[in-house]
Chain A
Amino acid sequence: MSVPGMTETTEAVARARAGDADAWGELYRDFAPAIFRFCRRALPTREDAEDATMEIFMKLRDKLSQYDETRSFSAWLYRVAANHCWDILRRRKIRQDKETEDVENVPLEHPDPSQLDKLIEQKTSEEVRQALHKLGARARMALVLRYYSDMSYDEIADALGVRRAFVGVVLLRARHELRQALEGKSALAAGGTS
């Protein structure tokens, strides 16, 4: 899928806001695959991702009037998606406080640089995707927001409800969990299965 041109997107958004159903269709066709992939990475199951994608676009339809056209549409869309997915995870009683406590209290082991380099080199994309699903919800969401949606630390802090200074710790801990999962060790927090 290619990224829709900014001008075309802006036009489609403007037309969709005016009630043009075709424009809405264009936006859906252009962005639904990426949003589905985002949800697929962030949520535990495929069914969850499908439901969430539909819900996000239904919400979007109502919220389109709130979108500031001077900003990037796709960034705004990912924000909506991120918040929606995180809401879903939180509603499922993800023990946010406990995880935060874990992150703050458990010391992180300094990796051996050459061994880490070797591990990264050996692993395929498919193995990484499988490992991602073994992570805790917060760790997985943090990695998705940063390395899929390309969100800034400020945005991640806002989406996850943590302090900005804490985002680096969350990301580093998520990487450690990922490495453990890649090495075949059980992740520190189970996040569900795909």
Chain B
Amino acid sequence: MDHLDEMTCLLYAERQLDRARAQAVSAHTQDCAACRTLLRALDRESRLLTRAMLEADEPLPARLAEFQERARKTHHWISGLIFGLAATGVYALYTQLETWQARLSDAGFGGTSLLSLLIFQGAFWKGWQSVITLLEVLAMLTVAGFGLVIFRRRLRRGSALALVFAGLFAALVSPPPAGATEFRKAQTAEVRQDEIIKGDIYLSGERVRVEGTVEGDVYVAGKDIDIDGHVTGDVIAACQSMRVRGRVDGNVRSAGNNGIISGSVGRSVTWFGDSVTVDSTGKVGQTVSMFGGNLAIDGQVGRDILFFGHEVGVNGAVLGSIWEKGDSLIIASTAQVGGRIQFKGDQQANVSPGAKLASPVEFTQREHRSEYTTGHYYMWRIIWTAAFILLGLVLFLLLPKFASEAVSAGERVAAPIGLGVLVFFGVPIAAILACITVVGFPLGLLTLGLWFFAINCAELVVGNVVGNWIFGRTADTWGQIGRMAAGFVIVRIVYTPIAPLHVIGVLVALGIWWWGIGAIALALYRRLQPKVSSSSMGVPVAAAS
């Protein structure tokens, strides 16, 4: 008698044969003891396998038992931190704004606009160079983060740890920068006439004098500052008053009440404060940019003047153009302007007949009416709302899966906002840094473009999340589009009356951008993860016991 082959017996035991074949096998085993034994052995083997695998021979490792609790705690901690910081920030702005304004005013910063207030705080903090350094660090962190996301699957735990330790070791043993940095703090901090400082120097005190030579940058904070010596780099200052009688080869950037430039500045002057005077002996090689009260040019400016504030008076020579948005512009008979003069103010510029101008003053009457009170503004809001909804519609139809993933990521709120902050600031900086290198230029430009596009899509994502909250989720594309449109309109309606509230308006706008761009980034991050099939076949499962 022919026997059944083992494969047929296995398929029969596992109920994988069709009816006719199964009946034939069944009939055969009625008469064939050997095949009956084989079938029984295969069946017992199956049961032995199942039993062996289901038996809990090893308890759940402590690491796994704690994992969920740790993950939960970590999640709560991060959420709590983000919301805590946000709440504290909003509360502080609400309650402390006037107090801070008064304090800054007492300290000699007479800025009255929010912009100057924020900028003064920034300048007081560490100086612009430090701000730039911080931004660079943020950018590097972002780049490193993306790198890790992309390559982490290729890194085993051991090699990742090795990288970390190697990095730490390299950081510890790497030599300090070539130029030494000096710090001086005293009632009167100074660089004496006969001194030569090689490298950057930080000076702070009630009075600060630089009479010697600094071959680097000068970072200075004080009440009265005199630069009588020679600085080959930049002067970054936060002060009440500053006089530059000596020579600065680089830029002068300052937040302070009064500035007088009697000496020479090789490059540009950027000033946030009440008044700046370029004396008759003073000379600025490039541009003067000022945000604040009054600017008087009695000496010479090599290029242009950019001014936002109260009044500009020109008695000397401006070899480039003048662009002013302020209250008044006075051009004396001794003045000489080599470029265009554009003035947006309340009254015509006062120009003396003897002034030598390359072209007449182009005057634009300033309108004080808030744009928020005009019908024009709201009409354009409606038009833009429709345009954005159209953009959302197109994106949903082109990328339905990714759009759903971004919206789904946005529903977690805290995580996308946290990530959004990083992406919002980090990506453009990283892109700009990439642009600096010739090789990275196309990549930097592309990244910048994508970032800008994502910013524009952010409100759509937030709108869709809000729509889902109100109307519930749906898997249908057109249902999702409907929720996106409705949610977007709701967000716009809620935001429109908030927008004119200056600080609050800006914060809410930033919040929406961070939330949306963070959700998009999170969805992108998940796309970079290895794919896991998640379809369900609905089979009975007995193994989880």
Q: Measured between alpha carbons, how far is A109 from B35 in the docked complex, in Å?
A: 15
Task: List, in ascending order, chain A residues with CB within 8 A of B540's CB.
Answer: 72, 75, 150
Q: Measured between alpha carbons, how far is A2 from B76 in the docked complex, in Å?
A: 29
Choose one: B58, B72, B75, B530; the contact of A46 (CB below 8 Å): B58
Q: Does A7 contact B (CB under 8 A)?
A: no
* B72 and A153 within 8 A (CB): no
When C-beta atoms are compared, the residue in chain A nearest to B537 turns out to be A155
* A113 and B38 within 8 A (CB): yes
**Cβ of A71 to closest chain B Cβ, rounded Å:** 4
Q: Does A138 contact B (CB under 8 A)?
A: no
Contact with B along A32-71 (1 / 0, CB 8 A): 1110111011000010001101100111001101111001
Q: Measured between alpha carbons, how far is A73 from B46 in the docked complex, in Å?
A: 25
**Cβ of A130 to closest chain B Cβ, rounded Å:** 9
Q: Measured between alpha carbons, how far is A31 from B541 in the docked complex, in Å?
A: 12
Contact (A150, B68) CB under 8 Å given A68-B536, A128-B48: no
Q: Measured between alpha carbons, how far is A194 from B64 in the docked complex, in Å?
A: 18
* A78 and B543 within 8 A (CB): yes
* B50 and A83 within 8 A (CB): no
Q: Does A21 contact B (CB under 8 A)?
A: yes
* A33 and B60 within 8 A (CB): yes
Q: Measured between alpha carbons, how far is A132 from B57 in the docked complex, in Å?
A: 14
Residues of chain B at interface, number, CB under 8 A: 63
* A129 and B52 within 8 A (CB): yes
Task: List, in ascending order, chain A residues with CB within 8 A of B58's CB.
Answer: 37, 40, 46
Contact (A155, B539) CB under 8 Å given A79-B533, A132-B52: yes
Choose one: B3, B44, B538; the contact of A121 (CB below 8 Å): B44
* A72 and B408 within 8 A (CB): no
Q: Does B6 contact A (CB under 8 A)?
A: yes
Q: Does B545 contact A (CB under 8 A)?
A: yes
Contact with B along A3-32 (1 / 0, CB 8 A): 110000000000000010100110011011
Task: List, in ascending order, chain B residues with CB within 8 A of A168's CB.
Answer: 7, 10-11, 14, 16
Task: List, in ascending order, chain A residues with CB within 8 A of B57's CB.
Answer: 125-126, 129
Q: Measured between alpha carbons, how far is A72 from B541 in the docked complex, in Å?
A: 8
Q: Does A180 contact B (CB under 8 A)?
A: no
Q: Measured between alpha carbons, how far is A123 from B47 in the docked complex, in Å?
A: 12
Choose one: A21, A38, A53, A132; the contact of B64 (CB below 8 Å): A53
When C-beta atoms are compared, the residue in chain A nearest to B526 turns out to be A62
Task: List, in ascending order, chain B residues with CB within 8 A of A62's CB.
Answer: 526, 529
Residues of chain A at interface, number, CB under 8 A: 79
* B46 and A147 within 8 A (CB): yes
* B7 and A172 within 8 A (CB): yes
* B534 and A128 within 8 A (CB): no
Summed over the interface, the residue pairs from A and B with CB atoms below 8 Å come to a total of 192
* B543 and A72 within 8 A (CB): no
Q: Does B51 contact A (CB under 8 A)?
A: yes
Candidate in A113, A128, A147 with the most chain B CB atoms within 10 angstroms: A113
Choose one: A32, A76, A117, A148; the contact of B37 (CB below 8 Å): A117
Q: Measured between alpha carbons, how far is A18 from B48 in the docked complex, in Å?
A: 41
Choose one: B10, B44, B411; the contact of A19 (CB below 8 Å): B411
* B544 and A31 within 8 A (CB): yes
Q: Does B41 contact A (CB under 8 A)?
A: yes
* B534 and A66 within 8 A (CB): yes
* B408 and A50 within 8 A (CB): no
Candidate in A34, A62, A110, A152 with the most chain B CB atoms within 10 angstroms: A62
Q: Measured between alpha carbons, how far is A62 from B416 in the docked complex, in Å?
A: 13
**Cβ of A158 to closest chain B Cβ, rounded Å:** 7
Choose one: B6, B10, B54, B64; the contact of A50 (CB below 8 Å): B64
Q: Does A189 contact B (CB under 8 A)?
A: no
* B6 and A108 within 8 A (CB): yes
Q: Measured between alpha carbons, how far is A144 from B52 in the docked complex, in Å?
A: 11
Task: List, in ascending order, chain A residues with CB within 8 A of B381's CB.
Answer: none
The A interface, classified by DSSP as helix, strand, loop or mixed, is: helix
Q: Measured between alpha carbons, how far is A178 from B49 in the docked complex, in Å?
A: 10
Q: Measured between alpha carbons, how far is A154 from B533 in the docked complex, in Å?
A: 14
Q: Measured between alpha carbons, how far is A123 from B49 in the docked complex, in Å?
A: 11
Q: Does A120 contact B (CB under 8 A)?
A: yes
* B532 and A87 within 8 A (CB): yes
When C-beta atoms are compared, the residue in chain A nearest to B529 turns out to be A59
When C-beta atoms are compared, the residue in chain B nearest to A72 turns out to be B538
Task: List, in ascending order, chain A residues with CB within 8 A of B411's CB.
Answer: 19
Q: Measured between alpha carbons, how far is A116 from B39 in the docked complex, in Å?
A: 10
Contact with B along A105-124 (1 / 0, CB 8 A): 00010110110110011010
* B68 and A29 within 8 A (CB): yes
**Cβ of A180 to closest chain B Cβ, rounded Å:** 13
Q: Measured between alpha carbons, how far is A158 from B539 in the docked complex, in Å?
A: 14
Q: Does A188 contact B (CB under 8 A)?
A: no
Contact (A125, B68) CB under 8 Å given A19-B412, A155-B539: no
**Cβ of A34 to closest chain B Cβ, rounded Å:** 4
Q: Measured between alpha carbons, how far is A140 from B6 in the docked complex, in Å?
A: 19
Contact (A25, B72) CB under 8 Å given A1-B56, A78-B543: yes
Q: Does B92 contact A (CB under 8 A)?
A: no
* A110 and B5 within 8 A (CB): yes
**Cβ of A54 to closest chain B Cβ, rounded Å:** 5
Choose one: B49, B538, B543; the contact of A38 (CB below 8 Å): B543
Provide a sorted-by-A list of 6 A–B residue pairs whose CB atoms are within 8 angstroms. A34-B543, A59-B532, A75-B540, A117-B37, A117-B40, A155-B537
Please list the residues of chain B having a beta carbon within 8 angstroms of any beta carbon in chain A.
Answer: 3, 5-7, 10-11, 14, 16, 34-35, 37-38, 40-42, 44-46, 48-58, 60-61, 63-65, 67-69, 71-72, 75-76, 153, 157, 408, 411-412, 526, 529-530, 532-545
Closest 9 CB pairs of A and B: A71-B536, A128-B52, A113-B37, A113-B38, A125-B52, A76-B536, A117-B41, A34-B544, A28-B68
Name 10 extra pairs, CB < 8 A, besides A3-B542, A148-B543.
Answer: A21-B75, A28-B67, A36-B61, A46-B58, A59-B529, A75-B537, A113-B34, A143-B53, A150-B540, A168-B10
Please list the residues of chain A having a beta carbon within 8 angstroms of any beta carbon in chain B.
Answer: 1-4, 19, 21, 24-25, 28-29, 31-34, 36-38, 40-41, 46, 50-51, 53-54, 57-59, 62-63, 65-68, 71-72, 74-76, 78-80, 83-84, 87, 91, 108, 110-111, 113-114, 116-117, 120-121, 123, 125-126, 128-129, 132, 143-144, 147-155, 158-159, 168-169, 171-172, 175, 178
